[in-house]
Amino acid sequence: MSGKRFALFVLALAFVVMSGIQVSIATQEVRERHRALQGLQLELDRAAEEYSRLQIELAAVAAYQNVERTAEESLGMSFPSDVERISP
């Protein structure tokens, strides 16, 4: 009987050791994935900053004054001096 109990004890001990190893492997994987997630979040934050900057730049370029100045300087266009209103 004591031989069977010892065998069960050794088997249980082996399972405990195996589960401990599995827990440590899973913990390491979680740490690696968390580190990768932090890197991706940093990249996302940088992309969002650049997107905001580009939106502000686009708004500045598309402002009426800039469009009018560009039309006058680059294209030689000017606002007509005599404007007529046509009624339907």
In a domain, 86, yes or no: no
Q: What percent of the chain has pLDDT over 90?
A: 60
d(CA 19, CA 23): 6
18-52 per-position pLDDT tens digit = 999 999 999 999 999 999 999 999 999 999 999 99
In a domain, 11, yes or no: yes
Domain around 33: 2-74
In a domain, 64, yes or no: yes
- Structural domains counted in the chain: 1
pLDDT recorded at residue 53: 96
- Residue identified by tokens 């589960």 is 19
